[in-house]
Structure 1
Amino acid sequence: MGASMVRPEGRLLVLGGFACEKGARAENQDFTGIYTATELERTHHGMIAAVADGVSGARGGRIAAELAVRALIEGFYHQPDTIGVPAAAHRVMAPYNRWLAAMGRSETMAHAATTFTAFVLKGRKGHVLHVGDTRAWHFRDGRLTLLTQDHTLSHPDQRHILYRAIGIEDRLRLDHHEVPLAVHDRLLLTSDGVHATLSARRLEKLLAVRNSGDADARAIVEAALSAGSQDNASAIVLDVVSLPAVGHDSVAGDVGRLPILDPPSQGESVDGFRLDQLLSDGRYTRLFRATDTATGKTVVVKFPKPALLSEQGARLAFTREILVGSRVTSPFVGEVIAVPQERQTRLYGVQPYYGGQTLEDRLQSHMSLADGLAIAIKLTRAVAALHRLDVIHRDIKPENVILLPDGGLKLIDLGVARLPRVDEFEAKEIPGTPSYLAPEMFNGNLGDEATDLFALGVTLWRIFTRSYPYGEVEAFSRPRFRKLEAPSKLRAELPAWLDVTMMRAVAVDPDERFGDAVELLRALEGGAAVERVDMRYVPLIERDPVRFWQIVSAGLFIALIAAIALR
């Protein structure tokens, strides 16, 4: 479990070592693990070191400890990195905790449980995950700091009794702490067979020797056993060799190094991208259809406008778009194209060029109910894919939906998305289009799944009725959320189930909307299947009976006049 040999400058590089001995015990119920990860994994998720100590006297204590460490290492890297370290770890460890708690009630693994403490190192931060009485420590400038609190009873005679550990309770309660990292920091994990015998001062002196991680971990364990430890003894020592640039958090670090310049004009070339056509000149950004002269491919290049968007806002927007576009795997969500660091000299983003038209442009001509349903279903799938990663789009509207020539769809403009762990925009730059903002956003809500569903609901109204449920809202004005009329009042052919679906999607009270995008998707797909709307032509007498009888009457009148004339 040695560290990978990578170029250290501007990257996270940590070297580690461990020692784990049974000592005076008949068997070793401790388990340690270090996973330095590939460079890509370290960038997206970080590296992991963990120690677990199976509860003494329980059957399967060693099994419980080993599976806890392996569960985190093997499951953590399959979680989306957009949800953050604590949430990703909890998604992995909570099911394991429930399984172990259930097994602890069986005869084969009676009372099985384990303590657990781990470091996840990502960017310039160390994340501590902890439950039980194993410990995490931070050593810097000759001083050792304890980062965790033992979950044992406070009475001197009962300090060996755990009240929290993996497998003790059905619900996992995992402490989480963050510690900023610096080059030359040392991080230490110990089982109680070490720190119950060696004082913090003694550990401090042993870490100050600064031999290799393996050598110092071995020295710590041997010192604990020599001092009379009667328990298993384990230690992990991590040395921080290099860190990403200040302010770096994966993509953010690369974006942070790029200067923000005035946007170029059509016909210019930037870093080998020939700007062929101006597509959009918005308030905060300028978009071009461009040719990548290195590959010959047609792409879209987006530049910030520093005169209107703050430097922080520009970097946040491009960080979000690159991060989400490179992480979300969905045929209905726009992608991004990574530009090599050595090529990119200023802040901009590159995306594939999607032919076709925006949904807003498509709405300028008649759209059948079947076509509208097909678009609505694909768009809802796009939103569901984002929400699965805890990504809130915050600007769902027809202008941000591309309809592809082959019938596909792409939800674009992810620069204003809300992500966990990413700083927020300044108040004046909070995104969104007034006509699509949920009522709660006018009262300070910065965006969540419910507000995205509201914007999606307004988009459905535009698709099926060409209107806004509460009227079009001008910038800097507040809408009146009046009582809704059924959308079928505006388009008579809409079936009853779609009436109900659209009205629920834009309910003023968020609790009355759909629970999530998947529930809305089921309503759209299920209703379409039952009604078979996409297979049925709705005759004029059903769509507009008054117009039908007017035409019939006019035809009869013309026939009568013709008959009289012929006679």
Structure 2
Amino acid sequence: MDLNQLIEDVSAALGFEDAQPLVQAGQKSVLTGTLSGAAAVAKIVVINPGPNGDITLERAHREVELLSAVDSERVVKVLTDAVEIGDPPTAVCWAEEYLDGDDLSNSLKRTWDELEVWSLLKDMSQALTACHELEVVHRDLSPANVRRLPGGHFVLMDPGLARHLEKTALTGAFQPGTPGWRSPEHVPGGDPIPASDIFALGILAFYALSGRFPIDPSGNPADYDRALVEQQAPGISTIVPGVSAELSDVIDTCLNRQPARRYLDGTEMSTFLSDMGANR
């Protein structure tokens, strides 16, 4: 598909102006520009013919539907409906608010201090609260899907693998997530729930402090799946001596192998952090 023609078609479909390519990865492209005079991004997903293309199209519509339903400053805002390009569709596009900053992939190349980790836990628990209150499980809380803003706050993005617990016919059941950032419930045969997002948030915090995964995803995928189900993640204080007891307790709770022993959802975790004064 010719990129210039695609940009022209998307701009016309969304009312998007001053479009410039920002990122292209696989089937997904991102443009920067303006919408109604405000900075925005346009996301484009190319649709290939066949059953896989139908799944991709459905997932894009689902992502926009879920984002439209969530109202939180800690979750990226969608600005338009998903619009299909062509008949049959060759692409689907939509606009989101423009966010300064970068995703966590780069900042996790260094170890963080405790204040940064507290901020991540607080902001992401609030973002998950907004999702979980709508019975939506994100299922892919990985570095690429969390943006760090210049002021230090964090915003949740791209619920493309999300599942609406009351609309399973629409969203399906098992989705793989991203290796390294999965919960025990992501293993084939499992069923991710709100507490699964909490586990993934615990992985982010653990990695930010230590520079390593609590459960090693390298090697044989079957071994990784088995370890997720059978092994308890090590306590963060055994990996990072000197971490405060309060932070250690929060991260270890997130990473409990048993879902019922974690914070059950974003609301419970956010309330706990607020009560303990973690908004420091």
Query: Does structure 1 retain, via aligned residues, the 8 Å contact 2:20–2:33?
Result: yes
Structure 2 Cα separation of the partners of residues 506 and 270 of structure 1? 45
The structure 2 residue matched to 1:281, chosen from 25, 50, 61, is 25
Structure 1 residue 522: deviation in Å?
3.3
Q: Matched residues in 2 for 1:445 and 1:322: separation? A: 25
Give the 3 Å change call, closer, same or farther, for CA 309–486 of structure 1 in structure 2. farther
Report deviation, 1:308: 9.4
Q: Which of the numbers 257, 263, 271 marks the counterpart of 2:10?
A: 271
Q: Distance in 1 between matches of 2:32 and 2:8?
A: 9
Indicate which of 361, 371, 381 corresponds to 2:116.
Answer: 371
- Asked if 1:486 is matched to 2:231, the reply is no
Residue 128 (structure 2) aligned to one of 370, 383, 386: 383
- What is the aligned partner in structure 1 of residue 67 from structure 2? 325
In the TM superposition, what are the counterparts of 1:242-281 in structure 2 within 5 Å?
262=1, 264=3, 268-272=7-11, 273=16, 275-281=19-25
Which protein has the bigger helix share?
2
**Letter matched to residue 472 of structure 1:** P
| 2:41 is equivalent to residue 299 of structure 1 | yes
Asked whether the 8 Å contact 1:300–1:353 carries over to 2, the reply is no
1:512 to 244, 261, 266: 261
2:156 aligns with 411
Task: Give the unaligned 5+ runs of structure 2.
Answer: none
5+ residue gaps, structure 1, are: 1-261, 535-567
| Structure 1 residue matching 2:3: 3-state secondary structure | coil
* Distance apart, 1:404 and its partner CA: 1.4
C-alpha distance in 2 between matches for 1:315 and 1:305: 7
Equivalent AA in structure 2 for residue 421 of structure 1: K
- Structure 1 residue 474, shift from structure 2 partner: 5.7
Moved more, 298-307 or 496-505: 298-307
SS at structure 1 position matched to 2:28: strand
Aligned-partner residue type, residue 444 of structure 1: G
- Tell me if structure 2 keeps the 8 A contact 1:435–1:474: no
Output the amino acid matched with 1:363.
L
- Tell me the equivalent position of 1:497: 246
Paired residue secondary structure (1:497)? helix
Rounded to whole Å, the distance in 1 between the matches of 2:58 and 2:79 is 18
- Aligned 1:155-554 pairs, distance under 5 A: 262=1, 264=3, 268-272=7-11, 273=16, 275-282=19-26, 285-292=27-34, 295=37, 297-306=39-48, 310-338=52-80, 346-419=91-164, 420-421=166-167, 423-424=169-170, 430-473=175-218, 476-479=221-224, 480-481=227-228, 482-529=231-278, 534=280
SS at the partner of 1:276?
Answer: strand
Tell whether the 8 Å contact from 1:286 to 1:305 is kept in structure 2 after alignment.
no
Q: Identify if the C-alpha distance between structure 1 residues 293 and 392 changes in structure 2 by more than 3 Å, giving closer, same or farther.
A: closer
Q: Is the 8 A contact 1:302 1:348 kept in 2?
A: yes
Is this contact kept in 2: 1:267–1:276, CA < 8 A? no
Distance (whole Å) between structure 1 residues aligned to residue 232 and residue 125 of structure 2: 25
Q: Sort the Cα spacing of 1:308 and 1:415 in 2 relative to 1 into closer, same or farther, 3 A.
A: farther
Distance in 1 (alpha carbons) for counterparts of 2:82 and 2:235:
52
SS at match of 1:269: helix
Shift of the 511–340 alpha-carbon distance from structure 1 to 2, 3 Å rule, reads closer
Cα distance, 1:378 vs. partner? 0.3
Separation (CA, whole Å) in 2 of partners of 1:471 and 1:518? 29
The residue type paired with residue 169 of structure 2 is D
Aligned to 1:200: none
Structure 2 length-normalised TM: 0.81
Amino acid at match of 1:270: D
State the Cα distance separating 1:453 from its structure 2 match.
1.6
Offset of 1:313 from its aligned partner?
1.4
* 1:275–1:288 Cα contact (<8 Å) kept: no
CA contact (8 A) 1:336 1:352 kept: yes
1:102-152 CA-to-partner distances (Å, cap 9, x unmatched) read: xxxxxxxxxxxxxxxxxxxxxxxxxxxxxxxxxxxxxxxxxxxxxxxxxxx
Instruction: Give the CA deviation at 1:263.
Output: 7.9
Task: Give the superposition deviation at 1:493.
Answer: 2.7
CA distance in 2, matches of 1:364, 1:459: 12
SS in 1 for 2:44: strand
CA distance in 2, matches of 1:496, 1:460: 14
Q: 1:287 to 1:502 in 2, by over 3 A?
A: same
- State whether residues 394 and 452 of structure 1, in contact with CA within 8 Å, keep that contact through their aligned partners in structure 2: yes
Please give the per-residue CA displacement for 1:287-330, whole angstroms capped at 9, x wherever unaligned.
22322476463423231352798133112211211111111110
Q: Normalising to structure 1: TM-score of the pair? A: 0.42
What are the superposed Cα offsets for residues 58-83 of structure 1, whole Å, 9 maximum, x if unpaired?
Answer: xxxxxxxxxxxxxxxxxxxxxxxxxx
Do the aligned partners of 1:398 and 1:459 also contact (CA within 8 Å) in 2? yes
Larger radius of gyration: 1
Percent sequence identity over matched residues?
Answer: 22
Contact 1:498 1:527 (8 Å CA) reproduced = no
Deviation at 1:344, TM superposition (A): 6.0
